[in-house]
Amino acid sequence: MKKLIAGMIAASVAGCAWYYQPAQPARVMWEPTRQAKADVDTALEQCDFIDQMSAGVQKIQEQAKCMRDMGFEPDLSSYSPHNCYGNAPAGCIVYWPQGMAQPQPVKTKTVPAGD
């Protein structure tokens, strides 16, 4: 009976652990094709890769083009809306195509002074 309960707990925890896995870093996301001109670490360095959403949309698009030109394709399977938040890896751009919005200051309304 103890083994059955332990097995059920292990199965339920394993399912939850998979769902909340963090988004993978660039060195795991970019997979070499047959045309790859270097290993992934060298390609990332040559592309001046910044693996953070804060790099901005234009920089991330430039990096992706460079990596594709070097013979790599992204595996986006580890990215989801549940693990792409904060200063997430650059691959999270698939969920934030315009980039993460910068907070705007709130304008307060002023009440006119009474006569």
Query: Nearest-5° angle of CA 68, CA 37, CA 54?
Result: 40
For residues 114 and 102, give the distance between their C-alpha atoms in angstroms, rounded to a whole number.
37
Element (H, E) at 43: helix 40-46
Helix (H) or strand (E) holding 68: helix 57-69
Q: For the chain, which residues make up each domain, given as ranges?
A: 39-98
Are the beta carbons of 99 and 56 closer than 8 angstroms?
Answer: yes
**Residue 45 neighbours by CB distance under 10 Å:** 11
Predicted TM-score (pTM) above 0.75: no
- Identify whether the C-beta of residue 14 lies closer than 8 Å to the C-beta of residue 31: no
Tens-digit pLDDT profile for residues 30-65: 999 999 999 999 999 999 999 998 888 899 999 999
Q: pLDDT digits over 84-101, tens only?
A: 777 788 888 877 676 655
Polymer length in residues for the chain = 115
